[in-house]
Chain A
């Protein structure tokens, strides 16, 4: 053996000169490789940063709104000519005219129908509702003159926020030189200002960007999530319990397992097709309803919940089951009294993460008609509604410049919900994490 050893005429590589050279090259390769890793991570994280910064910088201005200060005379002749004091009559008053008149009063020199129309365009077409709501709140305003911050039109809003440049030629912007001049004149007297408006949080969708809000979508999402939660949690938890604790190891169980894993990876739009074909066309459920949206999302999140639930059940040590069985508890009692309470935090974490996924999901809801233009706030799971991500999609598709910031703001709200949900999940996991 030793003879053979001496046959090997290569010297130990660790000490030759060529080895040193080669080592330098190898170490350079090592540094380069490590650098690739750093570059990859930097790329991914800076892309995330660009994404978030883009959204926030585009969206933060949506929370304020430009307003125009005008003296509005609440003319009894237009609101309640017969002096009935009846709310129904008052609600039907010609408030649009009152708003227009208040603008004409600001610029008495404006003559002619075209100019007057141009002037009224600087305020929102929703100012009549604004005035009406004021009067309905406080009928004693009738007959008085009040300073009112009238909602400006979306173009004025964009101009004030700097999203429409004054420098581009008049023909290239939606707001004319004349209108800019009026606004500048008002601004000099402190009669144009932007301030925080709750409208964005309290109203439903609208064709006019300055009137559009996300409340309708938030409520729609709420009903959808409620239906989803009520369906998916019981079914998911019960499936997890059955598969983990009771199911015999046979082909059927194998099939269920494989099926759940595959279902988790089916594209969400396919669930939308399922909802359209089965719930809408076959069972005749109403279109655009959060009920159907929730059912579709429930089927979609079911695999997530089952997988998380099984992992949580698996984490409960067998010693606890044996202890309970040892004192004569039935299998079902073991599960209900011991395993389930211990697995609950894990299941809840999984549920929240599944719900967060469902909340951000858009494609299946498009399939079942939740993409309609809906102004009213949905009152229940059967009313036509849209959902937050779908609202984002609808606004992103709208041509008006002002919808860009609305979209970004809606995204900020959606991300806010998602971050909160995930934070709760992380908190739960940290709080109840047990090491056996």
Chain B
């Protein structure tokens, strides 16, 4: 049993994102304790764990979304391709362009579907003319598997479609700026099973192009979509391994207890 445990190299050469000694505080309260992690390119990495275990907090460190919370403080070292994302010279805006994010609740802007997707390319000046923008919007929607369903209603409000469609719209919005990494914070928790299945399928398709990190409550989902799984508990990274390994043969007792449903 113990023989299967994989050795973590000091710095994995093919890691897209590396975290070393990450601590996160909300005011005086510590939410993340000394997390080390290596996230590989073109893989889906799932963060699992009980509510309040810090998985979402850690995810939000990866594109510095926590900066928007005044009392939140991040210590330690998080690098994307070797560049410290908390370094002084780093522009958060640029970082977030490279590391996109999809949120727990679908949050389309109260604008048309087209404008929702076009928003990113517009602010980043990625396209020169309307035709190019149309193309980006269309391709993003196709890639998010949404185009066929809503192609006749591009000018209608993004808030008027179903929850599952809204979440795919948010994914389309995220990939329209062609990020390298996509962070997903429980993207299916507000959706029904059919919509969830569609999103999971989409995540699998997107893996070829992007590095995806997904936080999920749902262990079956982690098992279905991810190649690597990290188990968080009480702000600590308890175990991080191949998904198959975690679900069939975890090395930590706490992981075992969690995936067999003894707590969480």
- The reply, when asked whether chain A contacts chain B directly with Cβ atoms under 8 A, is yes
In the complex, whether B91 has a CB less than 8 A from a CB of chain A is yes
Contacts known (A10-B126, A13-B124, A14-B98); A26 close to B143, Cβ less than 8 A: no
Interface residues of A (CB under 8 A from B): 1-2, 4-8, 10-15, 18-19, 22-23, 26-27
Which A residues are in CB contact (< 8 Å) with B179?
Answer: 12, 14
> Chain B: how many interface residues by the 8 Å CB criterion?
24
Which of B95, B143, B145, B180 is the one whose CB lies under 8 Å from A12? B180
Q: Shortest beta-carbon distance, A152 to chain B, in Å?
A: 60
Q: Shortest beta-carbon distance, B127 to chain A, in Å?
A: 8
Q: Is the CB of B206 within 8 A of A5?
A: yes
Q: Is the CB of A5 within 8 A of B94?
A: no
Supply 28 A–B pairs (Cβ within 8 Å), ascending by A.
Answer: A1-B143, A1-B202, A1-B205, A2-B208, A2-B209, A4-B139, A4-B142, A4-B143, A5-B205, A6-B209, A7-B139, A8-B136, A8-B139, A8-B143, A10-B126, A10-B178, A12-B97, A13-B124, A13-B126, A13-B177, A14-B94, A14-B95, A14-B179, A18-B125, A19-B97, A22-B125, A23-B91, A26-B123
Residue of A nearest to B125 (CB): A22
Please classify the interface of chain A as helix (H, G, I), strand (E, B), loop, or mixed, using the class held by over half of its residues: helix
A175 to B93, CA, bound (A): 70
A15 to B202, CA, bound (A): 26
Q: Is the CB of B178 within 8 A of A26?
A: no
Which B residues are in CB contact (< 8 Å) with A6?
Answer: 209
Contacts known (A26-B93, A27-B91); A12 close to B139, Cβ less than 8 A: no
A14 to B178, CA, bound (A): 9
Which A residues are in CB contact (< 8 Å) with B205?
Answer: 1-2, 5
A186 to B245, CA, bound (A): 106
A22 to B97, CA, bound (A): 13
Q: Is the CB of B139 within 8 A of A13?
A: no
Residue of A nearest to B208 (CB): A2
Residue of B nearest to A18 (CB): B125
Q: Is the CB of B97 within 8 A of A13?
A: yes
Q: Is the CB of B124 within 8 A of A19?
A: yes
Q: Shortest beta-carbon distance, B129 to chain A, in Å?
A: 14
Q: Shortest beta-carbon distance, A221 to chain B, in Å?
A: 44
A12 to B209, CA, bound (A): 11
Q: Is the CB of B143 within 8 A of A13?
A: no
A86 to B177, CA, bound (A): 101
